[in-house]
């Protein structure tokens, strides 16, 4: 039986990845500082650990492991990443996790390693125009990410590339673009745009309004979690050594995204623009290289993923309201 280690297994993508690997027949060890929030873990073994501490990371590598997936990071949506209030935690916590992982993996016995980077590594100067922008892999340099989160991700890409070169561990790097779906954070300040909009729409009364940061013309692409896993596994088991985008190349404005969710809700709602952190003006995955290298690009319509996500978040909102009413 093949073995896998998923670091960050208590998080959104990590918990879904554990389940996918189990479906493939792997024995899976999940590691995180917390269990998955919205469903029981499917891991064969789940270790509660603070991955900022070297000795606790060492304990994760105490057996032979075929596939290591490093997803653990200090992260959140625009309200967490782009305010500037959390930059030290974002950089120091994630850097410690990745440095410890690189060291322990180099000393352990593993087959190959996957690191989840981010679209936030891309140069912000190329993402200022909603009509002319690019996130081709080659445009990450010269480096000028839009946040300290992006700077740390870029550093850690180079860290794991050095691990691959110097310690002969096959290492794969995926730059993830705005992954969404059920069982992700949907409240409390760390949720990303699709989840935040789904929550606001689910909470709104028919005929009411929802608030949106900025004018809504900022552009993004959004990748449903199942297709993200497809891309991760395809890249992990490939011979491609360079970082690749794993994202959708179907760009939409945030206002268009909100209008899609409102349509799914069957409510009549207006959108009110308010000040708030927005990030770059336009960003979408360029999938030419991953299609060239791996013969893969996502195909699921955004509407399909939003429908599943809105239904799940609406259920969470209703359950929360009922719990408060009965308290």
Q: Is 149 a catalytic residue?
A: yes
Helix, strand, or coil (residue 283): coil
Note whether 209 and 269 are within 8 A (CB): yes
- Read off the tokens for 143: 């480096």
Note whether 99 and 160 are within 8 A (CB): no
Annotated active-site residue in 69, 122, 133, 149: 149
Strand residue runs (E) in 236-310:
244-246, 252-253, 270-274
- List CB contacts of 290: < 8 A, sequence separation 6 or more: 231, 235, 244, 245, 246, 296, 297
Note whether 119 and 127 are within 8 A (CB): no
DSSP-assigned letters across all residues of 208-255: -EEEEES-S--EE--EEHHHHHHHHHHHHTSS--S-EEES----EEHH
Instruction: State phi, psi for 256 to the nearest 5 degrees.
Output: -60, -40
Q: Is the peptide bond before 142 cis (omega within 30 degrees of 0)?
A: yes
Place of tokens 């990450």: 140
Q: Identify the burial level of 277 via C-beta atoms within 10 angstroms of its C-beta, where 0-12 means exposed, 13-18 middle and 19 or more buried.
A: middle
The catalytic site residues sit at 149
């Amino acid at each position: 039986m093949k073995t896998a280690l998923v670091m960050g297994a208590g998080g959104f993508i990590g918990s879904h990845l554990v389940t996918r690997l189990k479906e493939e027949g792997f024995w899976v060890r999940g590691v995180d500082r917390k269990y998955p929030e919205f469903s029981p873990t499917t891991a064969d073994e789940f270790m509660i650990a603070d991955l900022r501490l070297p000795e606790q990371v060492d304990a994760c590598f105490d057996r032979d492991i075929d596939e290591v997936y490093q997803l653990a990071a200090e992260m959140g949506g625009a309200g967490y990443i782009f305010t500037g209030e959390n930059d030290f935690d974002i950089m120091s916590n994630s850097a410690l996790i990745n440095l410890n992982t690189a060291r322990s993996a180099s000393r352990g016995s593993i087959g190959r390693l996957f690191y989840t980077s981010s679209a936030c590594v891309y140069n912000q100067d190329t993402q200022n125009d909603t009509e002319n922008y690019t996130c081709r892999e080659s445009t990450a340099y010269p480096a000028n990410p839009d946040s300290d989160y992006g700077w740390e991700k870029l550093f850690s890409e180079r860290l794991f590339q050095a691990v691959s070169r110097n310690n002969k561990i096959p290492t794969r790097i995926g730059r993830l673009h705005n992954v969404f779906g059920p069982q992700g954070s949907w409240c409390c300040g760390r949720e990303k745009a699709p989840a935040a909009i789904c929550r606001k729409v689910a909470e709104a009364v028919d005929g009411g309004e929802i608030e949106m940061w900025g004018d809504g013309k900022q552009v993004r692409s959004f990748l449903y979690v199942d297709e993200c896993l497809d891309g991760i596994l395809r890249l992990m088991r490939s011979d491609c050594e360079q970082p690749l985008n794993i994202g959708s190349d179907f760009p939409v404005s945030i206002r268009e995204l909100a209008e899609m969710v409102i349509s799914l809700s069957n409510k009549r709602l207006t959108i009110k623009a308010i000040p708030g952190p927005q990030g770059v003006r336009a960003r979408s995955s360029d999938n030419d290289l991953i299609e060239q290298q791996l013969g893969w690009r996502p195909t699921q319509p955004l509407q399909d993923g939003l429908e599943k996500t809105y239904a799940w978040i609406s259920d969470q909102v209703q359950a929360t309201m009922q719990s408060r009413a009965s308290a």
